Structure 1
Amino acid sequence: MKLDKYAKIELTFFIVYFYVFKLLSNLEYNFWERKLKGFSGIDIEFSFLYGTSGLLAFIVFYQIIKFYLVNRKFFRLIACLVLFLVAYALYQKAVNYTYSQLPFLSDEFRRLATNAYRAKSIGYSFAYMFKEFLAVGCLAFVIHSMKQDEKVRQLKEQQLMSELTYLKSQLQPHFFFNTLNNIYSLALKQSEDTAPLVAKLADMMRYILYKTDRPLVLLKDEIAFVKNYVEVEQIRYRSNINISLDIQGIDEHTTIAPLLLLPFIENAFKHGVEEEVTTGYITIKICKIANELILEVENSIAQKEHTGEGVGLVNVKKRLALLYPDKYTLTVQSDELAFYVNLSIQL
């Protein structure tokens, strides 16, 4: 049976606490009090046998602690502690009697077990038991806290994935709606650019349908998608709109969350030059240096003023905050002539 990480922690604790500590205690006692180095046979025998009896008893106690302490049933826990102390005294008597009757044990150990069995004391001190209760109780509390933290982490991850899926579902229809509008306007004019535009849209749809369902995609594929988008827009806009795309440093292996760059570029077209009646420009620079990806977008401001942000830009800001917390910087600003976006992501 494969143990989970919590069972491994519990097993390690009990082995160290009931075996290793007893041996180390005997080693220290021999060194300081008896002026001896190492262990004697009786030390090993004593540590192993009484460590095992203590281990068995406190595993039972540990189950009590886990059930009552983590469920905050304190009065029942106290009652169980009293019953455990009574039962432990009887258990110790039975253990000592059993050890005293086993012929394969050493004579000295059986003599010690016989004396402990015949003693009129309860077999333990309350200070010692309090120490044992505290140690085992701390273990139960730590394991409970770790399990609670893991549940919270899993819930946060599920919430994150749900929100990302929702944001991506908003982004894709928004993007395709705008692109289909472009195709429709060209079709009405019976433009020869309609067919190439449909082909590039098919490539983009293939990318979204078959690759963007993954948490990460290759950066080169994301860049190819962006290039297709820009070429689609170049077909649509007039020659007096200057569109520049500069891409540098893209390698074969770097990955990125899908559809992060498009909304900034799409925003430049939709809210920059779409309403331009004279001249306009869009400059896009994408550069990867070491582990940093830099996107710079600059576009002229159209005469028709727009207020607020599009759905795509709002969503991508949320996705950046969820996917790359403390690993990105985003600057969005404008003046009378142009709109500027500077995005830097540590991949």
Structure 2
Amino acid sequence: MKVQNFKSILGLACLALCLGAAPARAEVQEVRLARQYGIAYLPLMVMQEQKLIEKHARELGLADVKVSWNQFTGGSVMNDALIAGALDFAVAGPPPFLTMWARTRNTPASVMGLASLNAMPMYLVSRNPAVKSVKDFTDKDRIVVSGIKVSTQAVVLQMAAAQAFGKEKYDVLDRLTIAMPLSDSMAIMLSGKGQVTADFTVPPFSYRELKQPGFHSVIDTYQVVGGPSSTNVLYTTTRFQKANPKLTQAVLNALDEAQKYITENKQKAAQTYLAITKDTDPVADVVQMLSDPKVEYNLTPQGLMAFAEFMHQIGTIKAKPATWKELFVDQVHGLPGN
């Protein structure tokens, strides 16, 4: 009897020891991030070139983490990859991010913002001298946006239309919009041919177009939103974040370091941009873009609630966050976001 009791106690002790000694579930050994085209994505390029995620992962005790960078030309394919688990971090403008947040909210695949990638105005550039405001567009005009109805440019155009014509006519200019890659729309604008008379575009394309004789800005995102707004947001799934807290923190730390590097080393950052993109702009022109006082590279989410309020009013998103902090990880809640 005593032997049996001893064996039982020993068995329970061994079980408890094994359970207690069992290691926590390991974090993934590879992290996969999305990148798109344009100077807005410069922090990601710096992170890639300087291997900052790898550096911060090691500092948090994660050795030999592999970082994969995936180039995307469209947000829908990127978001599909994120939800399917084929991508860990996506990057998009506030409207596409908010759409994903609302669509996946309260599901296993729900998304959560990590931080803002940058803030810089997008410009609606027109080559039609008769167009001084959005009220001046006619059926003879065509306006290029990166995605009809869903892109940041398309939503800002709707916001501008609501301000000009009344909220019930927010989509009155949608019929004039067409979607195409940014480089293609710039080429068409510079050619002066066809029906494309306006291009709602981002740096560096907006800077190039506005240097052309007769080209002018009709509106920009800051004017419409009511202040600086994040051009892009870096986000992940709550599923990945909870399973990989250290790796998520490493990505956030790397982004913070990259943004500070750009702010403090504009010349070197410009060289990084040109080396990775193979762009032909002179270094001085890229430095000039980075030196624009309206251009910011920091973690602070800006303008998210202005977009969320409008998109909820017109029914694009069914749920509205109570505050911008509901959209982002706890680590950035101390920032002066809006």
TM-score by length of 2: 0.20
Q: Which has the larger radius of gyration?
A: 1
Q: Name the one with the larger helix percent.
A: 1
